[in-house]
Amino acid sequence: MLNIKKNTENGKTVFTLEGRLDTVTAPELEQTLKESLDGVGELVFDLKDLEYISSAGLRVLLTAQKAMAGKGDMKVKNPNEIVSEVFEVTGFTEILNIQ
Amino acid sequence: MEETKEGAVVIKLSGRIDSGNAPAAEENIRRTLEGKGTCPVVLDAEELAYISSAGLRVLLHLKKTNPELSIVNVSSDVYEILEMTGFTEMMTVEKAYRVVSVEGCEEIGRGANGTIYRIDQDNVVKVYNNADALQDIRHEREVARLALILGIPTAISYDVVRVGNSYGSVFELLNASSFSKILATKPEKMDWCVREYVKMLKKIHGTVVPAGKLPDMKETVLSWARFMQPYLPGDLGKKLLSMVEAVPHDDHMIHGDYHTKNLELQNDEVLLIDMDTLAVGHPVFELASMYNSFVGYSELDHEVIKAFQGFDFETGKTFWRKSLAAYLGTGNEKKLSEVEDKARIVGYTRMIRRSIRRGGLEDERAKRSIDFWKEKLIGLLEKYDTLLFTRNELEIEAIPENLPSVESFVEKHLEENDCPPKAQMQIGLAVEEIFINIASYAYAPEKGNATVRVEVSGDPITVIITFIDNGIPYDPLAKEDPDVTLSAEEREIGGLGIFITKKTMDDVSYEYRDGQNILRIKKQM
C-alpha cells in the first residue's frame, strides 16, 4: 500500500511516498496531485521509502512532469535500486530530474 | 383390511373410490381405526384404480384425525390426480415403483453406494447397494440438482424403480461412454481424457457451495483419523489427527469419488455422474480418493483395477500422474511426489479403516493389505508434517481488483523457492503489467478468467510464469517499443508496461493456441 505525505513551504511542495506505487495505489496519488499542483513552483518527490513502482506509477510521474511544464521544476529524489532500474530501462532517467 | 407394521395401521384400498361408495369406504376405514387413536396410517393403493373428489375428501378427513398419513404403491393414474389436487404436498405419497431387471445389462459405472447399468439405448439405472435406499436416492437427487444449479454438468434421475430387492434411480444418458471405457479401448485418447478430466475437476473445485448444503469432508476424514488412533504406533495417530485438524475449512465443492467411471462423454458433452458423495472440502481429500481409485486399491494386487476400471495398472498410474500434473500446473517431479504423498496419507487411512471395519483383521488376505498400507502410512507420517499444498496454477476473474490475489499467489511460490528479493520485485512488476493488460483489454467490455501458472526450478533458480486468457487474440510483443529517448512533452502516457517486462525478464514469448492467448515470461537468477 502507499503512504503519501505532503509538505509545502515557500511554494515548494514535497511529496514523500512510502510503500508501493502500483496499479492499485497510483489513482490515489494522481488524485492528490490533481488537487494540489495549483500555484506550486517546485515539486519534489522523495522516494527514499518507496519500495516499488510499476508503469501505473510511472504514468502518474509523467503526468505530473507534463503538468509542471512551463510552471516550475520537478525533482525526484532518493529512488532505491529497484525503482532506479525501472527508471533506467524506461528512459525515465532522461525525462525526470533524478537526484 | 388391516395389518399392523411398526405401529402403523396399513389399510388396503382397491377398485374405485367415487361419490357412490366414498361414504361406505370412510365408514370402513373408521371401523378399522376404532380405538387406535391418532396412530400412523399407511394406505396401500396398489389395487386402487381411481379416486374422485369424494374419495379425496375421505383422505382429508382421515388426515385430520390421523396426521401421520401416507399413501404407498400409488399407480401413475392415481398419482397424477393426487399431484394435480395438491395432495402430494399435504401427505406422503409414494408411487408404485416400476420393476426393472438389470440381468445381462452392461455395467457402466460403479461408486461407493451403487452400480450403474445401461438398461436401454437412452437410459441407465443406478442400483443402490443398500436395500433401504429411498433416503439415499432422495439425497443423491438433491445434491445432483444443487450441482446442476451451480453449473456442474450432470444427469438428474427422473424415476425410481425396483430392481430385485433393491431400489434404483433412472437417468437419461444417451450414446454415452465412460472415460474408463475410452481409456481401455482407445489408449491414444489418454491425453485428451486427462485434459477433460482435469478441466472438470478444476470446475468442481472452483465451485463455491452455499453453507450447509453439502457435508464437510473434513469432518468425515477426522472421523477416519480418530478411528486410526489405536492402530498406529507411538504418537503417529495423534500426528495424523492434528494434520487433518490443521486443514482449513474450504467451502468449495469436491466430488468425493472422482474416477473415470463417473465421467461420461455424451455426444460432445462431458457429464459427471454418481453425485451422492458430493461434499465441500480441501482438494487433498479429493486427491486421496483419486489416488485410491487409480493406484491405491490396486497397489498390492495390480489385477484389482482391471476388474473395476477395465484398464490395466500402468494405464491407471499414468493417468493419475498426468492428471495430477495438469491439475497442479507443474511437471516438477518433486512437487508431484510431495502432493501425491499427502494424498496417500488420507488415502491409506481410508482404506485401512474400511478394511478393518469389514473384519479385515480376521481375514488373512485382507490383513496382508492392511499391513502393506499401514507400513506405507507410517513412513509417510514420519516424513510429512502437513497435508497442505498449493497448486502452481491460479484461475481467477481478470479484473484489476484481483491483482493483489495474483501477486500474493506468485509471491508465495517465489518465497517458497528462496527467490532473491530483487528478482521477486522484478517478477512482481512484470506480473502486474501483464495481468492488468489482460484485465483491461482481453475481454472488454465483457469479463472473463485468466490463468496464472508459476513454475520454479532450481540451480540456477529459474522462474517461468504463464498467463492464459480466452479473450480476443492479442500479441503484446508485436507492438513497437516506445521511444525512450523522447522528452516528457513528447512521451505518450502508457505503453510502458510490456516494455518494462521485456527489459527486466530474460525471455518473454507469446503464442495463440486453441483459442487462448498464452504469454510466458522467464527469469533466471
Chain B nearest CA to A62, separation (Å): 7
Q: Are residues B202 and B261 in the same domain?
A: yes
Q: Enumerate the residues of chain A whose CB falls inside 8 A of the CB of residue B425.
A: 51-52, 82
Span B453-486, pLDDT tens digits: 999 887 788 999 999 999 999 998 888 888 877 7
Range name among A1-5, A91-95, B145-149, B323-327 with the lowest pLDDT average:
A91-95
Q: Which one is predicted more confidently, A24 or B311? A: B311
- Euclidean distance between CA atoms B106 and B180, whole angstroms: 14
What's the confidence (pLDDT) of residue B327?
Answer: 95
Average pLDDT over residues B328-337: 90
For chain A, percent of residues with pLDDT exceeding 70 = 100
User: How many domains are there within chain B?
Assistant: 4
Average pLDDT over residues B512-522: 93
Question: What ipTM, to 2 d.p.?
Answer: 0.77
Q: Which one is predicted more confidently, B298 or A55? A: B298
Q: Are residues B340 and B454 in the same domain?
A: no
Contact B500, A55 (CB under 8 A): yes
- Best probe of the A interface among B426, B431, B432, by most A CBs < 10 A, is B432
What's the confidence (pLDDT) of residue B498?
Answer: 86
- pLDDT of residue B4 exceeding 60, the answer is no
Q: Is pTM beyond 0.80 here? A: no
From A52, A55, A65, residue closest to B425, measured CB to CB:
A52
Span B196-216, pLDDT tens digits: 999 999 999 989 999 999 999
Give the domain CATH number at B420.
Answer: 3.30.565.10
Enumerate chain A positions whose Cβ falls within 8 A of a Cβ in B: 22-24, 51-52, 54-56, 58-59, 62-63, 65-66, 69, 81-82, 85-86, 89-91, 94-96
Q: Are residues B453 and B343 in the same domain?
A: no
- pLDDT of residue B354 exceeding 90, the answer is yes
* Confidence bin at B125 (pLDDT 50/70/90): very high
Domain that holds residue B480: 393-524
User: How many domains are there within chain A?
Assistant: 1
- pLDDT of residue A53 exceeding 80, the answer is yes
> Which residue of chain A comes nearest to B421, CA vs CA?
A82
Query: What's the start-to-end Cα distance of chain B, in Å?
Result: 88
What's the confidence (pLDDT) of residue B1?
Answer: 44
What's the confidence (pLDDT) of residue B353?
Answer: 97
* Confidence bin at B98 (pLDDT 50/70/90): confident
Residue B182 resides in a domain: no
- pLDDT of residue B114 exceeding 70, the answer is yes
Alpha-carbon B220 to chain mean position: 15
Give me the count of residues in chain B.
525
Residue B179 resides in a domain: no
Q: Which residue has the cell 480476443?
A: B472
What's the confidence (pLDDT) of residue B494?
Answer: 63
Q: Which one is predicted more confidently, B62 or B3? A: B62
* Confidence bin at B6 (pLDDT 50/70/90): low
- pLDDT of residue B384 exceeding 90, the answer is yes
Interface contact flag, B432 A22, Cβ < 8 Å: yes
In degrees, rounded to 5, the angle at the alpha carbon of residue B17 between the alpha carbons of residues B11 and B22 is 90
* Confidence bin at B322 (pLDDT 50/70/90): very high
The set of cell numbers assigned to B484 is 525512450
- pLDDT of residue B492 exceeding 90, the answer is no
Chain B nearest CA to A54, separation (Å): 6
B490 and A CB contact within 8 Å: no
Q: Are residues B234 and B374 in the same domain?
A: yes
Q: Enumerate the residues of chain A whose CB falls inside 8 A of the CB of residue B503.
A: 89-90
Contact A95, A87 (CB under 8 A): no
> Which residue of chain A comes nearest to B489, CA vs CA?
A66
Backbone torsion region of residue B395, taken as left when φ is above 0, otherwise alpha when ψ lies between -120 and 50, otherwise beta: beta
Between the alpha carbon of residue B283 and those of residues A36, B141, B154, B163, B217, the distances in Å are 51, 24, 20, 35, 10
From B400, B484, B494, residue closest to A23, measured CB to CB:
B400
Per-residue DSSP letters for B58-122? HHHHHHHH-SSEEEEEE-HHHHHHHHHTTHHHHSEEEEPPEE---TTPEEEEE-SSEEEEE-SSS
Average pLDDT over residues B238-260: 96
Interface contact flag, A55 B485, Cβ < 8 Å: no
Give the domain CATH number at B159.
Answer: 3.30.200.20
Q: Enumerate the residues of chain B whose CB falls inside 8 A of the CB of residue A56.
A: 432, 436
Interface contact flag, B484 A91, Cβ < 8 Å: yes
- pLDDT of residue A65 exceeding 70, the answer is yes
B491 and A CB contact within 8 Å: yes
- Best probe of the B interface among A21, A22, A23, by most B CBs < 10 A, is A23
Average pLDDT over residues B268-285: 94
Residue B488 resides in a domain: yes
Between the alpha carbon of residue B40 and those of residues B86, B135, B364, B406, B477, the distances in Å are 21, 20, 49, 60, 77
Residue B125 resides in a domain: yes
Residue B180 resides in a domain: no
Residue B377 resides in a domain: yes
Give the domain CATH number at A19.
Answer: 3.30.750.24
Q: Are residues B31 and B10 in the same domain?
A: yes
Q: How many Cβ pairs within 8 Å bridge chains A and B?
A: 69
Domain that holds residue A34: 2-98
Q: Helix, strand, coil % (nearest 5) of chain A? A: 40, 35, 25
Interface contact flag, B404 A24, Cβ < 8 Å: yes
- pLDDT of residue B171 exceeding 80, the answer is yes
What's the confidence (pLDDT) of residue B493?
Answer: 64
Interface contact flag, A58 B400, Cβ < 8 Å: no
- Euclidean distance between CA atoms B99 and B162, whole angstroms: 5
Q: Enumerate the residues of chain A whose CB falls inside 8 A of the CB of residue B440.
A: none
